Structure 1
Amino acid sequence: MKRILSIAALAAALPFAANAAEGLSYTYIEGGYSASKADIAPVNRDVDSDGWSIRGAAAFHPNFHAFGDYTRESIDNVHRDRDQWRLGLGYNHELSPNTDLLTRVAYQSIDFGQGLDADGYAVEVGARSALLPALEGYALVGYEDYDRGIDSEFYGRLGAQWKFNPNVGVAGDVKLIKGGDVQWFVGPRLSW
């Protein structure tokens, strides 16, 4: 009986025993330019906006990390800003020496000012891979749900980073939301 329990405990711990794939860091900070094209459901109109974002993550276990980001964009032709932030937890599991399975959950908030705001959550799953020594990329699919009349949608997220050295690179990300909404980001990243 003790042997069966030992084997069961070992099998249960295996998903947590792997480290991040080689060349992938889950501790970083990045900032840069962001832009969005979105249909704001409560007022039913298309809006374009651009501004800046700051993002980061911190690994606190070989397979777990906390992450967050903040975006502030000015909406074109309107004296209003879009503030958006999220905080979450991620889990990475090595699938191969260069590729991780990545799952993330986050609490998020969006605020257009004048009482037009919403809170919600997002879940995403996909893969992150060191494609070349200086290039990594990821592809995620996700679902986000907001309150206050903003549509809940599925989305895809594609991103890449070109590394100048192990600690400094340039990152880019595009989020394609069902219904045609698009959010993108580009900027420098510092990893350690």
Structure 2
Amino acid sequence: MKRSLIALALLAALPFAASAQDANSGLSYNYVQGGYVATNTDGGDADGWGLGGSVAVHPNVHLFGSYANQNIDGVNADFDQWRFGVGYNKSFSPKADFVANVAYEQYDAGSGLDFDGYSIEAGVRGVLAPKFEGYALLGYEDGGDFDGDAYGRLGAQLKINQSWGVVADVKIADGDTQWFVGPRISW
């Protein structure tokens, strides 16, 4: 039920999304992406696929969400990871934005091995070249069953044309690394 309400809210915001791009920086907060995701930890590795997206609902506010399913190497098990949140973006130069995000996070490995938590992050996103943009964020995440952890996130997009691009993202937290690579369509 909770997932259906979040999906419905994102769909309801779509009519407003086209006009809500931050006109100063030229960065779009309206996109859908999918691709390969992997997690490397001291306790083992996992990989799979993920989907994500963002919709601008105001020139300085966007809603975002993602889902990933990964199989754990060496065992017959997988886990689902959900992330939904709201972000604030404000241009501070013609090609760069300050970005701050707050998100609800859920991990579910089945058999009662699941937990909910939250994350907050802030940093910079900018146009580095005509067909290349990137971002750097510092964040903190906390879940009910594990201690909070600071992390860093770096990402980039190589734009093929105005709508299509290839994105990469890496998140590093206390010896754990999670990364994503795949195509993105922006509007």
Short-chain TM bin? 0.7 to 0.9
Look up the equivalent residue of 1:19 and give its one-letter code.
D
Matched residue type, 1:103: A
What is the distance in 2 between the residues matched to 1:26 and 1:96?
A: 17
The residue type equivalent to 2:36 in the other structure is: Y
Q: Is 2:69–2:78's contact at 8 Å kept on the other side of the alignment?
A: yes
- Other structure's SS at 1:166 match: coil
Matched with 1:14 is: none
Q: Does 1:172 align with 2:143?
A: no
Of residues 155, 168, 184 in structure 2, which corresponds to 1:159? 155
* Paired residues of 1:20 and 1:63 also in contact (CA < 8 A): no
Alignment partners' CA distance in 2, 1:24 and 1:68? 18
Confirm or deny that 1:187 pairs with 2:187.
Answer: no
Match of 2:112 among 105, 110, 115: 115
Larger CA deviation: 156-165 vs 77-86: 77-86
Question: Structure 1: 5+ residue runs without aligned partners?
Answer: 1-17, 40-45
Aligned to 2:18: none
RMSD, matched Cα? 1.2
Is 1:22 the counterpart of 2:17? The answer is no
AA in 2 matched with 1:105: V
Match of 2:13 in 1: none
Aligned length: 167
- Confirm or deny that 1:79 pairs with 2:76: yes
1:38 to partner: Cα distance:
2.6
Structure 1 residues 20, 159: CA separation in 2 closer, same or farther (over 3 Å shift)? farther
Distance 2:129 2:25 in 1: 11
Give the distance between the partners of 1:190 and 1:151, measured in 2 at CA.
Answer: 36
Contact 2:85–2:101 under 8 Å retained in 1: yes
Cα 1:20/1:113, change in 2 over 3 Å:
farther
Q: Equivalent pairs: percent with the same residue?
A: 54
Counterpart residue identity of residue 36, structure 1: T
Give the Cα separation in 1 of the matches to 2:37 and 2:23: 28
Q: Which has the larger radius of gyration?
A: 1
Displacement of 1:112 in angstroms is 1.6
Q: Which residue does 2:36 correspond to in 1?
A: 33
Q: Residues 111 and 26 (structure 1 numbering): CA distance in 2 closer, same or farther, change over 3 Å? A: same
Question: Does structure 1 residue 59 correspond to structure 2 residue 56?
Answer: yes
The DSSP-based 3-state class of the residue aligned with 2:147 is coil
One-letter identity of the residue aligned with 2:81: Q
Question: Given that residues 20 and 100 in structure 1 are in contact (C-alpha distance below 8 angstroms), is that contact kept between their aligned partners in structure 2?
Answer: no
| 1:111 positional shift | 1.2
Question: What does the per-residue CA deviation read over 1:50-79, in whole Å, with 9 as the maximum and x for residues that have no partner?
Answer: 000000000010000000000000000111
Q: Does 1:50 align with 2:47?
A: yes
TM-score by length of 1: 0.84
Rate the CA distance shift 1:21–1:153 in 2: closer, same or farther, 3 A: farther
TM-score where L is the length of structure 2? 0.87
The 1-side partners of 2:86 and 2:24 are apart by 18
Distance 2:22 2:30 in 1: 14
Matches of 2:102 and 2:32, distance apart in 1:
19
Change (3 A) 1:146 1:38: same
User: Does the 8 Å contact 2:71/2:79 carry over to 1?
Assistant: yes
1:35 partner amino acid: A
